[in-house]
Amino acid sequence: MVILAWLRRIFVLLLPGIAAIVAILVASEHLANLRHIPLWLQSLPFIMLFSSIALGIMFRQTRMVMPGIVLAAVTMRCAPNIAMVDTTTMRAAILLPVWFAACYPLREQRFLSLWSLLLLIVATAVSASLFLPITPAIDDRLTALINMTSNEHWSAFSSLPIPALVLTVIAAIVLLVNRKLTLGALLLQCLILALMALDARGPYGHDWANTFFCTAMSGSTFLLLCAVLTGIWQHTFIDELTGLPGRRALRQHMTSLGKRQALAIVDVDHFKKINDRHGHDVGDQVLRFLSSRLRAFRHGTAYRFGGEEFVIVLKRADPKDHFSRLDALRQDIADKRFVLRSLDRPRKKPRSKKQKKPKTTSRTIKVTVSIGMAMRSEKNRKPDNILQAADKALYRAKRGGRNRVKK
Lowest mean pLDDT among 115-119, 129-133, 150-154: 150-154
What is the mean predicted confidence (pLDDT) over 104-124? 83
Q: Note the pLDDT of residue 343.
A: 47
Q: For residue 382, is pLDDT > 60?
A: yes
Q: Note the pLDDT of residue 186.
A: 94
- This prediction has a pTM of 0.80
What is the mean predicted confidence (pLDDT) over 138-158? 66
What is the mean predicted confidence (pLDDT) over 35-50? 89
Q: For residue 73, is pLDDT > 90?
A: yes
What is the mean predicted confidence (pLDDT) over 232-245? 89
Q: Note the pLDDT of residue 84.
A: 67
Residues 265-283: tens digit of each pLDDT: 999 998 988 888 888 888 8
Q: Note the pLDDT of residue 72.
A: 94
Q: For residue 200, is pLDDT > 90?
A: no
Q: For residue 387, is pLDDT > 60?
A: yes
Q: For residue 83, is pLDDT > 80?
A: no
Q: Note the pLDDT of residue 245.
A: 92
What is the mean predicted confidence (pLDDT) over 108-120? 80
Per the prediction, the chain carries an average pLDDT of 84
Residues 223-233: tens digit of each pLDDT: 999 999 999 98
SS (H, E, C) the chain: CHHHHHHHHHHHHHHHHHHHHHHHHHHHHHHCCCCCCCHHHHHHHHHHHHHHHHHHHHCCCHHHHHHHHHHHHHHHHCCCCCCCCCCHHHHHHHHHHHHHHHHCCCCCCCCCCHHHHHHHHHHHHHHHCCCCCCCHHHHHHHHHHHHCCCCHHHHHHCCCCHHHHHHHHHHHHHHHCCCCHHHHHHHHHHHHHHHHHHHHHCCCCCHHHHHHHHHHHHHHHHHHHHHHHHHHHHHHHECCCCCCECHHHHHHHHCCCCCCCEEEEEEECCHHHHHHHHCHHHHHHHHHHHHHHHHCCCCEEEEEEECCEEEEEECCCCHHHHHHHHHHHHHHHHHCEEEECCCCCCCCCCCCCCCCCCCCCCEEEECCEEEEEEECCCCCCCHHHHHHHHHHHHHHHHHCCCCCEEC
